[in-house]
Amino acid sequence: MINTSLKELSAQLALKKISSVELTQTFLGRIRELNPKLNAFITIDENKSLAQAQAADGLIASGQAGPLTGIPVAQKDIYCAKGWLTTCGSKMLHNFVSPYDAHVIEQFNRAGAVNLGKTNMDEFAMGSSNETSYYGKVKNPWDLDAVPGGSSGGSAAAVAARLAPAATGTDTGGSIRQPAALTGITGIKPTYGVVSRYGMIAFASSLDQGGPMAKSAADCALLLNVMAGFDLRDSTSLERDKEDYGRDLEQPLKGLRIGLPREYFAAGLSADVAQAIEAALAEYRKLGAQTVEISLPNSKLAVPVYYVLAPAEASSNLARFDGVRYGYRAPEYTDLTDMYGKSRAQGFGAEVKRRIMIGTYVLSAGYYDAYYLKAQKLRRLIAQDFTDAFARCDVIMGPTAPTTAFNLGEKSDDPVSMYLSDIYTIAVNLAGLPGMSVPVGFGANGRPVGLQIIGNYFSEAKMLNVAHQYQKATDWHTRIPQGL
């Protein structure tokens, strides 16, 4: 059951071969057994989950079920869920029981899905290893000495270890794709504006985008159908017709033009990752696709631009955590300024404080033009590179990350080296394009490798098709870590 697709689980629920309560209990049992090793979840509430499962069984019995009714989904702890502790991985929100639902949570509730629990994450989604969480590191189920990636590392580990049939993530600079790659699962970050950010705790608002993380592209399509949609309460939510992201899954790939950016295969890419990517590209050629070399000449600027824009937006977004209306307040202080300063110094972890301070600096008087405005201009050049590239290809492919999962502690003392693990994913956020990661094998150390697929704006259905056809021809996505 733990390796069964969402479509098949849904069919079994409809045929009453299994109930949602039984399904939920199975996964809660796995969480009870394996979460102590992985630390993938921050909050589990069996009663709440089972009550939702019971309600779902009612819907199924009365013939009102949709494709996700009764399916347990683990929710990244960045999504506010009414009555659930919602920490965003931070001490700052250690006591924040959300009074309302994020749009994404509402959508899953409406679909009759079961909230299986809140998954661990880098604090305020700032990190690429899940080591910045106040609630402890998440471990990679393929190797407990390795990081699961981040920031959606809890969701990634939960799906990889089959503690959940599916999960949600968010992606500001690679936070869905990089952990998906490092744990051997499938994840997609949609075009900016497709999934509402309402109730999704903000990090860098012009880059943040929610998306699904699951065992396969077909499962991601079903999840995205529920997550996507216009929402008035997010000022950047796009008003578009509802679409079925699974509509093109079965299209053949004959004639597909795959662009290979030469900058993504240059120095810095480890040999074992390159080898797995080449093998995947060979498989695509067998499926009838052709590859063409392209260039994204401003790629090397993506990391510098991101580390100006994302901290700038974060410093503004995180100003709301001041110890007044919710969250952590320092126990002792002398006056209001001291209360703000101490609450924030004690409530935020080191990486969050670094980014707030960098953001504050680049926005401060005298530096705005040299940093913030400069970065926004370069952002346009980076986005233009993709527009030019898509004139010559249908999708772009390359590695999701330059290496397989690194060891716990390996980069945690060197923020800049950590930042460079996102060199291939960040430009996609800056451009606002959709990107996904698909498992394509293993590196020399037995840790998973992810292939990144980048599509043009609103081409999610096409990308899922491209990923699905590969997954029909290969079985990497069905592999499960052994020996947990």
Partner 1 sequence: MSLNLADVKRIAHLARIAVIDAEMPGYLQQLSNILSLVEEMQAVDTTGIEPMAHAQDLVLRLRDDVATEPDLRAKFQAIAPQVESGLYLVPKVIE
Q: Which residues are catalytic?
A: 76, 151, 175
Asked if 402 interacts with partner 1 (CB under 8 A), we say no
Asked if 338 interacts with partner 1 (CB under 8 A), we say yes
Q: What b-and-e string marks burial along 105-120, b requiring 16 or more CB atoms within 10 Å of the CB?
A: bbbbbebbbbbbbbbb
Pairing of strands 72-76, 114-119: parallel
Asked if 360 interacts with partner 1 (CB under 8 A), we say yes
Q: Which two tokens stand for residue 335?
A: 């006056």
Asked if 95 interacts with partner 1 (CB under 8 A), we say yes
Asked if 322 interacts with partner 1 (CB under 8 A), we say yes
What is the per-residue binding string for partner 1 in 28-57, x denoting contact by CB under 8 A? ------------------------------
Q: From CA 402, how far away is CA 390, in angstroms rounded?
A: 23
The conformation of residue 427, written as its DSSP 8-state character, comes to H
Asked if 308 interacts with partner 1 (CB under 8 A), we say yes
- Smallest gap from Cβ 338 to partner 1, in A, equals 7
- Smallest gap from Cβ 238 to partner 1, in A, equals 7
What is the per-residue binding string for partner 1 in 230-249, x denoting contact by CB under 8 A? --x--xx-x-----------
Asked if 281 contacts 397 with a C-beta cutoff of 8 angstroms, the reply is: yes
Listed in order, strand segments (DSSP E) in 282-434 are: 290-294, 395-399
Q: Which is nearer to partner 1, 258 or 308 (CB)?
A: 308
Q: Which of 300, 387, 473, 478 binds partner 1 (CB under 8 A)?
A: 300
- Smallest gap from Cβ 414 to partner 1, in A, equals 8
Number of shown-chain residues binding partner 1 (CB under 8 A): 72
Q: From CA 271, how far away is CA 214, in angstroms rounded?
A: 27
- Smallest gap from Cβ 100 to partner 1, in A, equals 8
Asked if 87 contacts 119 with a C-beta cutoff of 8 angstroms, the reply is: no
Asked if 169 contacts 118 with a C-beta cutoff of 8 angstroms, the reply is: no
Q: Which is nearer to partner 1, 28 or 318 (CB)?
A: 318
Q: Which is nearer to partner 1, 141 or 311 (CB)?
A: 311
Asked if 323 interacts with partner 1 (CB under 8 A), we say yes
Identity at 13, one-letter amino acid code: L
Asked if 361 interacts with partner 1 (CB under 8 A), we say yes
Q: Which of 218, 305, 393, 418 binds partner 1 (CB under 8 A)?
A: 305
Asked if 94 interacts with partner 1 (CB under 8 A), we say no
- Binders of partner 1 in range 426-445 (CB under 8 A): 430-433
Q: Where are the alpha helices (DSSP H) in 162-300?
A: 177-183, 217-227, 271-286
User: Distance between terminal CA atoms of the chain?
Assistant: 17
- Judge if the upstream peptide bond of residue 316 is cis by omega within 30 degrees of 0: no
